[in-house]
Amino acid sequence: MPAAPPAWKQATDPTSGAPYWYNEQTGESSWTPPAGVPPIGPPPGAPPAAAGGAGNQILQRLEQQPGTKVVPKPGMAIPFYWQEGIEYGINRRNTFAMNEFVGIRRSDGDIKFGTIMDIAQGREGNVYQVLVDGNGSYQQGKSADSLYKINYDVTSQGFKLELKKQDEAPKGLFGW
């Protein structure tokens, strides 16, 4: 990891696990590296688990919902009972990993699941290519502040989906 200019120190945000920089002389802090320090990519592997109380709250809310636990697929709408700030959130300090599920606002206004398929370095941080449906459609050049961070590992935990009829199910779900 390259060294920051002398007054700047790198630290890790305890809530998100994201790196940030602070200037000991001025008290200034920044999510983006100071000039001369390249951006740091997300850590390899799965994103860090949500901190403390949010994890318990998510699990309690998940268990209270009727339906069957499913793993999301790109293009599925996020569950109607999810609340911003609990199950998902948006902010500029997010970093995403390859194959991580994210929320993305689609042109119809719904927030749907997408999967990070490529990460590139942009002028003001990383930009992401997001798989947005099962047909191979992508949204390219998305910045972190245009994507929603899913606050828990939906791949292993899933979420509950209640369906009364087969035609309510997203294509291919439950083998329908």
What the chain holds in terms of domains, given with CATH numbers, is 64-171 (2.30.30.140)
Q: Of residues 167 and 18, which shows the higher confidence score?
A: 18
**Is residue 21 within 8 Å of 29, Cβ to Cβ?**
yes
Residue 35: burial class (beta carbons within 10 Å; 0-12, 13-18, 19+): exposed
Those residues whose C-beta lies under 8 Å from the C-beta of residue 158, and which sit 6 or more positions away, are 69, 70, 71, 72
Q: Give tens-digit pLDDT for 84-117.
A: 888 888 866 778 889 999 999 877 788 899 999 9
CA angle, residues 148, 104, 117, in degrees to nearest 5: 95
pLDDT of residue 16: 60
Q: What is the DSSP string of 59-120?
A: HHHHHHS-SEEE---TTPBPPTT--BTTTEE--TT----TT-EEEEE-TTS-EEEEEEEEEE
Q: Give tens-digit pLDDT for 39-55.
A: 555 544 444 444 433 46
Rounded mean pLDDT of the chain? 74
Provide the CB-side half-sphere exposure for 50 (13 A, CA).
19
Most confident listed range (3-7, 59-63, 128-132, 133-137):
128-132
128 backbone dihedrals φ, ψ, rounded to 5°: -125, 145
